[in-house]
Structure 1
């Protein structure tokens, strides 16, 4: 077991944890770029896809909170799966989360690059996209390296202001439509039954990251209360926001010369149609800052997963060191930041546009979240049974969650999407296979490591549930 400096304890309040989660979900990202993608799949019923996605992930959150209410620590999603299904399953979940957080970090960086470019263009200034990406990554790296609490406050201000501005625009649109109900969005004759599954996949892309508060277990104040609340509240706030903004955006752009699914700046178009074009600059500025907050939140959450897996020796132990002064996982933050900049460089060299990279990265990231969501759902009743607290309702919640998770899983491969998206599931499976081989080889090389990891997880668990060790006996 790697010996490290400790992360800064008892420094993140409920509000700051909620800010981390909402920033990672990034409601502004969905309003700025993803709702048109949703509309291309489910048309006037797009609001329903977001409602279904929110309900589905709430069931996942209920299973996740079975662990979060009882114990916590850094990188808790990884640790939770370990406690329920063993070390190998936990490591696979952690490996998958690293893919997911890197994908969303890339989406944040590319979104920042797109909107900062738009703002500069409004001022008659041209800047290379890679330079803008470098500014985003470097600034996010510094904040994540320096102080997690400062990062959380920054994200709270950024995302909160952006959401408030979008909300104001939506109410202006509703006012101009005399708050009349848009009956077309409830017409059963246009219900997109065949594409609703793909719509839920897009909704999952929008909502993933709600679990990130669990990564800050060592740094949260009163973690057994604040973390479960942050998990659920981030979903409810973001889901309600998505349903509302989608409904208004479909209403506000109806009859426009360009359909919603063809718009690359829907908020600016909505502002023009509502005769408040003056909001274009602040909306673009809010989107740019929100995408930065998204990248920062992913660096913070992903580095805690990398830190914990490094501490257990599964990944290079150097990633498990924390800064002596800042008490942040500075090596893990630096590694993820470097990858976050290398991806846009590689994409640019391959001739991939920033907007395409945004869409590709987000789609790939969704696969990375589905695996740990499924694993944590299965792990919850196993864990509860091991500590003698399993109830019938817990099994029912698990079954419903798995049934709902099957919708985006199947929807991502059938009907077969267009190239290159059709190859993304298999690219992720290849990454997952590499991780599984590495994990199995690790335990074969170091058979004594399992006992050390179990001891570490048990000591964290027993701080909160004395005398009822986690369900861990073997990898």
Structure 2
């Protein structure tokens, strides 16, 4: 496999290998990224088939999941009736990073998302750390979400008086042998992604429409029992309670960056990627706030304390119909399927970019001539995730995905600041408003949320990063293609010469 070379780029890697310090700081030129995206690294290239609708649904699909079905009941006791304000604050905090992603996605429309943005601005060392964090965020979070499939499948089957035994619906360590529903959902998503990205995107769009419809159905029913008195007093736990709840529900917004991994499959990425990211944030925030207002309007805030599956119980009590549980169980399974499909898609594209750079094996960047997808890499990732979801109790490793995600968000905010200063002449289809205040606030918000995570989570994350360091020195450092750049390690050309 060959990588497009640029003037001043050395083609050999055996001679003149840079020192460790030089290699860690060596940035990948934007021109090189654009050339790789257009040329397909000497082989078949990804197919540009996504419009703004599909891109938006990828981000909504990865963000709007089962969390809203359970996190509301856990968060209302912290904030009281002001929980809807907490969702709005968390949405604003996520927006601080989302606008940075929008600017970078329009400026660097490639498949690598924050990994590629970091490589272009902070060098190979930070790019590897970011990419390794994304491996944790995407692969482990897919497995963690898929694990819940067994529970929700059983809730649906229970309506008909039948359930799967624990041996087939739970992983070892949780009373089972293998979580069959989790394995099946991951493998089905893998098959879809191998067949073609366009087909997968349309199926995801249909699933997202269904799960949005289910949440809007909840709102319609809950508003029939609306009592404005439930909002008095609005702040029984004070501003501190609202802030505590906002920190908790912030993680319901993680996933909006999924569209940025589709930079090489968008028909007009410079225009549509920023639009998709911003639209997905608007849709998700609006739905979360609407669901929170409807739920509090239907039940006093104290009712939520200790109540599991609060949304389902509100519907059952309001309608008196037991089939409501079936509707929400099916909705939850669809939500899991949508998250697995979109996040697994993002994982394959992140590894494709890392593989192009030589930091992970080349199999992940091989694009099938027949399907226009990284078929071999997708199969490897899908099988690995399916086995993890079915057989491994994830525990603290799943919690550590929050740190990896926030770290990647923080790096994207820094990347925006760097490129505004270093490359002000680049054409930007979207510009972060109130620069540099917005990206600075976005980075500090991520750091603040990371600092509030528990010590066990940090220890697990640290262990993951040690594995990443070993992987870099064992493979990435020796095989890095960017390390083969000539003496002009910061080589780049004006934006006009490398349109994507």
Paired residue for 1:378? Answer: 414
SS class of match (1:238): helix
* 1:317 maps onto 2:362 in alignment: yes
- Sort the Cα spacing of 1:181 and 1:323 in 2 relative to 1 into closer, same or farther, 3 A: farther
* Distance (Å, rounded) in 1 between the aligned partners of 2:286 and 2:433: 30
1:208 counterpart = 2:254: yes
Alignment match of 2:496 (pick from 447, 466, 469): 466
Aligned equivalents of 2:157, 2:260: Cα separation in 1: 37
TM-score of the superposed pair, with normalisation by structure 2: 0.80
**Deviation of the 1:118 alpha carbon:** 0.9
The alpha carbon displacement at 1:362 in A equals 5.5
Where does 1:51-70 land on structure 2 (aligned, <5 Å)? 51-70=88-107
User: Which residue of 432, 439, 461 maps to 2:465?
Assistant: 432
Q: Does 1:170 align with 2:170?
A: no
Q: 1:186 aligns with which of 221, 234, 255?
A: 234
- Alignment deviations for residues 378-424 of structure 1 (CA, whole Å, 9 cap, x no partner): 111111211135999422222221232233122213xxxxxxxx412
Q: Which residue of 2 aligns with 1:268?
A: 312
Residue equivalent to 2:60? 22
- In structure 2, relative to structure 1, the CA distance for the partners of 1:265 and 1:326 (3 Å cut) is same
**Which is worse superposed, 442-451 or 373-382?**
442-451
Structure 1 58/455 Cα, relative in aligned 2: closer, same or farther at 3 Å?
Answer: farther
Q: How does 1:269-348 map to 2 (within 5 A)?
A: 269-275=313-319, 277=321, 278-347=323-392
| Residue number in structure 1 paired with 2:17 | none
Q: CA deviation at 1:217?
A: 0.9
Report the Cα offset of residue 437 of structure 1: 4.5
Q: Which of the pair is proportionally richer in helix?
A: 1
* Residues 264/364 of structure 1: CA separation in 2 closer, same or farther (3 Å cut): farther
| Residue of structure 1 in register with 2:150 after alignment | 113
Q: Runs of 5+ in structure 2 lacking a partner?
A: 4-40, 170-178, 427-431
The 8 Å contact of residues 80 and 234 in structure 2, kept in 1 or not, is answered as no
Distance 1:392 1:286, change over 3 A: closer
Distance in 2, matches of 1:227 and 1:383, equals 18
Q: Give unpaired runs (5+ residues) of structure 1.
A: 414-421, 470-475
| Structure 1: 4+ residue segments shifted above 6 A | 453-459
Query: Structure 1 residues 83, 449: CA separation in 2 closer, same or farther (over 3 Å shift)?
Result: closer
Deviations 1:4-33 (A, max 9, x none): 64343220111001111100002x412222
The count of residues paired between Structure 1 and Structure 2 equals 443
* Aligned position for 2:423: 387
Which residue does 1:138 correspond to in 2? 187
Match of 1:411 among 440, 449, 452: 452
Question: Which residue number corresponds to residue 157 of structure 1?
Answer: 206
Query: In 2, are the aligned partners of 1:45 and 1:191 still within 8 Å (CA)?
Result: no
Name 1:97's counterpart in structure 2.
134
For 1:147, the equivalent position in structure 2 comes to 196
Please say if residues 204 and 366 of structure 1, whose CA atoms lie closer than 8 Å, have aligned partners that are also in contact. Answer: no
Largest Rg, 1 or 2 = 2
Aligned CA distance change for structure 1 residues 448 and 15 (closer, same or farther; 3 Å): closer
Tell me if the contact between 2:79 and 2:237 (Cα under 8 Å) persists in the aligned partners: no
Q: Residue in 2 aligned with 1:228?
A: 274
In structure 1, what is the Cα distance between the partners aligned to 2:486 and 2:144? 33
